[in-house]
Amino acid sequence: FRRKKSFCQRLLIRSLSGSKVLRLFQSLKYIWVALILYLTLSQGGGSGWFEFLKYPGVDKIGHFGLFFVWALLYFPELVMPETLLINEKPLRFWIVATNSLVLGILIEIAQSFIPYRSSEWLDLLADVLGSATALLAVNFVRRKKSNLN
């Protein structure tokens, strides 16, 4: 028993071949890193996005969300046909985790040298937790899809 694909899934699969999806996700990863760097290192970037909540440490939500999305961009097969999930390589999970940790550390080191920024290790924790949560979500989706096949 196979589930029918939604109209959006069929349209996406028809309009984008596998190599086009991979190139699109590769480009989105680089654009997303540029956005992360802008929001975490520039003077006006990021500040004020969550200020309306007036909650101490609310910027951690931003760090979590940015790294969550960045980690998801490593898995283009989530929007591709289910059969592409069969050959998943566990190495990619380690690459995502390592990249997230290294980028988070580099951002915090860079922020310690920028006068209008402050380095906080809780930001690094939020970065790593965002990526880890995305990896858990990817693993959950992969298991669900493999059970359906």
| Per-residue model confidence as pLDDT tens for the chain (149 residues) | 455 666 655 555 555 556 777 788 889 999 999 999 998 888 765 555 555 556 777 788 889 999 999 999 988 777 665 444 445 567 888 889 999 999 999 999 999 999 888 888 999 999 999 999 999 998 888 787 777 65
Q: What is the pLDDT of residue 10?
A: 58
This prediction's pTM: 0.77
HEC assignment per residue over the chain: CCCCCCHHHHHHHHHCCHHHHHHHHHHHHHHHHHHHHHHHHCCCCCCCCCHHHCCCCCHHHHHHHHHHHHHHCCCHHHHCCHHHHCCCCCHHHHHHHHHHHHHHHHHHHHHHHCCCCCCCHHHHHHHHHHHHHHHHHHHHHHHHHHHHC
What's the gap between Cα 12 and its chain centre? 20
Helix 121-148 with 91-113: angle, nearest 10 deg: 160
Q: So what's the pLDDT on residue 85?
A: 47
Token look-up 């550390």 returns 105
Q: How far apart are CA 66 and CA 60, in angstroms?
A: 10
